[in-house]
Structures are given as structure tokens and as C-alpha cells.
């Protein structure tokens, strides 16, 4: 039978129909399980109940702010942590790709810290930064940092040798080599890294806000839990999911644009 291959791209109408069907199926199954009483109603509200609560949270404040305000607060922390990760990670990765000795020093450290979850840094975040934005930013940074470094490093390491050699014969300094040869050639890898980094950074938000008691979507989640309000918890999860999805979609568009400009299939 002809299914013994991977199929070629679907016609748009078919794709749309199936996607919509899949989307609907997700909610239908959720609704069914919720309505069936398999799980106590309090702990698995139906989709409309959650949507209602979600809408309510955008109108009336919970733990001091509306849903959007909490999201804005969280996004600020995320932006700071992610920005810092990019600003430090990308140059570090490029430098590691160029200077062997730096690679030798940093890589073992990196491999060691790779398995340490961002959340494990929470006690140190409180110890070192106390209050304010420093603590959450540290957690988000610890999640967002590795992909920035790794992808910049890979990009720099796998630049075509002839470009590097050509620049060397022309007598390029280290600085010019990195900024004018390695960096441009690494852009696709770096941008791919940014996407992963943003995803991990945004995901670290809930852990980051464990030491926060003022605002934020992670804080809202915990407070919803303390109020035995599963719909608030799920609204928080949905809000985190939506923003995470949007950030990823935007970066994917950026990635595709950059790759298209450089003639790489995206």
C-alpha cells in the first residue's frame, strides 16, 4: 500500500481541516474527561469554566494585579534574564569557538553545570540577590544561557575553513576575525540558539518566581493553588503557554527571514 513512504506535503485545505480537527479533539477529550467525573470536578474544570476564569482574571485583579499585569511583570524578568544570557553567552560562545584555550577551560565547567536545573539555583538567588529583580533574573539566566553559548560556539567552530584562512592571510586581528568572519557566518546557528534559549528561559519563569511574592504569572499560579482554585492554576498555565508559544513563533519567523536572506533553506 502506498502508505509505506513518508507522504509529501498536504494540500492546504486538508492540512487546515486536520489541524482544526486535532485542535477540537484536544478540547473535546478534555471536556469529556472533566464531565465524566473521572476526576473530581473541582480538580478538572471544563474548558468553558477555565476560559471564564481566564477572562475574569483579565478584568479583576487577583493577588494585586490583573492577569495581563502579572504577565507584564514576568515578561520584564524574562527579558532581563534572556537579554543578559544573549549578551554574555553569544560573545562567549564565539570566543570559545576561536580561542582553543578558552574552550579548554570553559567546556568542562559547562558540561558539569549542564545537569543542574535552574530551580536548583533558587536558594542561591535569594542568598545573593535578596529582593528585587536579581534573584529571578539569575534563575532565568541559568536556563537561557547554555543554548546561547553552545550555538554560538558551534557556529564559530564550523565556519568554513577557507574563510578563516583567507582572513588570516590578510592579517586580520583576533577582534576582526571574530566580528567580521565568525559572527556573520554563525548567525543561523546563533538565531537557532536564541529560539531554544528563549524557550528555556521562559520555562524557567515559574521556578524563578518561587522566591517572589509580589507579582508575576508564576506567583499567580502558586496563589491559585493555595486557594484551591484549579481554574486559576489552569488559566495561569494557559497564559504561560500562550506567551511562550508567541515568543517561539516570533523567533521562528526571524530565523526563517535570516536564513532566507542568506539563501539557506529554512
> Alpha carbon 199 to chain centroid distance?
1
Q: How far is the CB of 220 from other proteins (least distance, A)?
A: 8
109-168 positions binding other proteins, by CB under 8 A: 109-120, 122-124, 126-132, 150, 153-154, 157
Regarding 248 and contact with other proteins (CB under 8 A), the answer is: yes
Q: How far is the CB of 7 from other proteins (least distance, A)?
A: 5
Q: Which is nearer to other proteins, 73 or 173 (CB)?
A: 73
Q: Which is nearer to other proteins, 39 or 176 (CB)?
A: 39
Regarding 170 and contact with other proteins (CB under 8 A), the answer is: no
Q: What is the size of the binding site for other proteins (CB under 8 A)?
A: 93
17-46 positions binding other proteins, by CB under 8 A: 18-19, 21-23, 25-26, 39-40, 42-44
Q: Which stretch binds other proteins (CB under 8 A): 11-19, 81-89, 161-169, 187-195?
A: 11-19
Regarding 199 and contact with other proteins (CB under 8 A), the answer is: yes
Amino acid at each position: 500500500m502506498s502508505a509505506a513512504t513518508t507522504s509529501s506535503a498536504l494540500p492546504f485545505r486538508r492540512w487546515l481541516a486536520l489541524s482544526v480537527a486535532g485542535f477540537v479533539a484536544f478540547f473535546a477529550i478534555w471536556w469529556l474527561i472533566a464531565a465524566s467525573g473521572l476526576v473530581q470536578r473541582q480538580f478538572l474544570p471544563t474548558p468553558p469554566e477555565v476560559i471564564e476564569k481566564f477572562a475574569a482574571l483579565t478584568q479583576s485583579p487577583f493577588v494585586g494585579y490583573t492577569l495581563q499585569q502579572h504577565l507584564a511583570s514576568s515578561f520584564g524578568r524574562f527579558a532581563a534574564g534572556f537579554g543578559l544570557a544573549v549578551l554574555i553567552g553569544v560573545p562567549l560562545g564565539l570566543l570559545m569557538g576561536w580561542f582553543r584555550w578558552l574552550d579548554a577551560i570553559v567546556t568542562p565547567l559547562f558540561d558539569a553545570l549542564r545537569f543542574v536545573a535552574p530551580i536548583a539555583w533558587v536558594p542561591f538567588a535569594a542568598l545573593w540577590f535578596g529582593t528585587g529583580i536579581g534573584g529571578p533574573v539569575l534563575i532565568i539566566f541559568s536556563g537561557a544561557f547554555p543554548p546561547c553559548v553552545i550555538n554560538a560556539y558551534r557556529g564559530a567552530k564550523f565556519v568554513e575553513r577557507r574563510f578563516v584562512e583567507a582572513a588570516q592571510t590578510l592579517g586580520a586581528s583576533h577582534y576582526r576575525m571574530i566580528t567580521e568572519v565568525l559572527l556573520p557566518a554563525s548567525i543561523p546557528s546563533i538565531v537557532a540558539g536564541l529560539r531554544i534559549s528563549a524557550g528555556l528561559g521562559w520555562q524557567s519563569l515559574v521556578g524563578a518566581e518561587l522566591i517572589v511574592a509580589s507579582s508575576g504569572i508564576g506567583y499567580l499560579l502558586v496563589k491559585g493553588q493555595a486557594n484551591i482554585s484549579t481554574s486559576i492554576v489552569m488559566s495561569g498555565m494557559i497564559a504561560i503557554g500562550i506567551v511562550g508559544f508567541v515568543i517561539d513563533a516570533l523567533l521562528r519567523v526571524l530565523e526563517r527571514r535570516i536564513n532566507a536572506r542568506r539563501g539557506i533553506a529554512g
